[in-house]
Structures are given as C-alpha cells and as structure tokens.
C-alpha cells in the first residue's frame, strides 16, 4: 500500500485529478510562497509543470523550489511580490491522474485510484463506495459513503482492507468485530 501523493485525496472536477499540494502563506517580499506538498518526495511537485487549482481560471507553475521545514518554498511563474503571493494563500494544487508515473509493483497504487471504488464485505455484500482518504496524523483513514446515506471511517490497514482490486473496481472491507457488534446493537435498538 504505497504511492500516496496526498494526505487528503479526492476527485476534483472535471475528470479525475489528484490534490498534490496547498499554497500557504507568502515567504518574504519577493513573491515566494510556502507550499505543503503531498507528494512522497515533496520537491517532486515542482516537476509537474502547470498545475490546476481550486480557484476558477487560475493555473500555477512552480519555476523553482527548495525545501523548508515541513514545507517547500517556491517561486511561481508570474508572482513577483508579497501581495500577489498572499492572494494565493489556501489555493489547492491538482494534476490529472494520468500525469502521475505508473507504479512498478502491482501491489502499489495511488490513493486517488481508490476513490469511487465499491466497498464489499468478505461475504460479497456491497456496503458503499470510497469517498476520500485522510491523514489526521495517526495514520490514513478511509471515508466510505455507505449505501444508507451515512458515512463510515476505517483506518487504512491491510487487516481492515485485505483485498484491493482496482482493475475490478472494488475493495474488501473486513471491519473489526467490535464495529460489527455495535452496528448489530444499533439495528436492534431501532426496531
């Protein structure tokens, strides 16, 4: 389970795009910005060329980058002063999934490939689809949009997700016993 280019991965219209970074505060007075890179190699974000953003009509190109503490410091094409840099604070950076390099190992994948996959239990019952993957600091968490309309969160471990079949369009969720027991109690109390 590798190849994670993002702490929070979700699709972004139009088409399947991957969140690879988020612009933070301005750095200095010459237009540099701090970027939280979600790439395995933080500086790799600078190699993707023009990046789409969540700000309509705005595209960003990193022309130089250097490591900082837990961030990268970057100069963006067309941004040359602090005011212009500050205007980009909070802008998310995306690339098309197809621009990411292919994984060498068939057991490796990008988290973005999991978004939208059907979630099945070990007995084959479908319970929902993967909505997002998050990292709240204690490990990766899968958010599942359940068929009931509710959401469920599970830690992304091999024990909870023993089978990942990206080409077939599903993952198998083997939830911990205490979760199944609690859900059974909730069903009984609702009747």
Both structure tokens of 139: 């490990």
pLDDT tens digits along 90-116: 999 999 888 877 777 767 777 888 889
pLDDT tens digits along 22-61: 999 999 999 999 999 988 889 999 999 999 999 999 999 9
pLDDT of residue 3: 38
Helix (H) or strand (E) holding 129: strand 126-135
Helix (H) or strand (E) holding 184: helix 177-190
Cα–Cα distance for residue pair 1/103, rounded to 1 Å: 11
* pTM for this prediction: 0.65
First-last CA distance in the chain: 40
Percent of the chain with pLDDT over 70: 83
Contact 116, 11 (CB under 8 A): yes
Contact 160, 154 (CB under 8 A): yes
Average pLDDT over residues 47-76: 94
In sequence order, the 6+-apart residues with CB closer than 8 A to the CB of 187 are: none
Question: Cα 141 vs. chain centroid, distance in angstroms?
Answer: 11
């Amino acid at each position: 389970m590798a190849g994670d280019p993002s702490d929070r991965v979700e699709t972004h219209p139009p088409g399947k795009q991957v969140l690879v970074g988020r612009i933070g505060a301005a750095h200095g007075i010459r237009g540099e910005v701090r970027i939280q890179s979600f790439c395995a190699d933080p500086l790799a974000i600078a190699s993707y060329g023009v990046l789409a953003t969540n700000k309509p009509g705005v595209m960003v190109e990193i022309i130089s980058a250097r490591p900082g503490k837990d961030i990268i410091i970057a100069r963006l094409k067309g941004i040359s002063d602090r005011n212009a840099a500050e205007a980009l604070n909070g802008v998310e950076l995306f690339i098309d999934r197809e621009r990411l390099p292919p994984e060498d190992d068939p057991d490796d994948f990008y988290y973005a490939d999991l978004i939208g996959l059907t979630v099945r239990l070990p007995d084959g019952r479908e319970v929902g689809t993967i909505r997002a993957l998050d990292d709240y600091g204690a490990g990766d968490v899968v958010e599942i949009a359940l068929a009931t309309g509710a959401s469920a969160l599970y830690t992304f471990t091999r024990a909870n997700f023993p089978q990942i079949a990206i080409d077939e369009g599903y993952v198998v969720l083997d939830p911990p016993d205490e979760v199944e027991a609690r859900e059974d109690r909730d069903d009984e109390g609702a009747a």
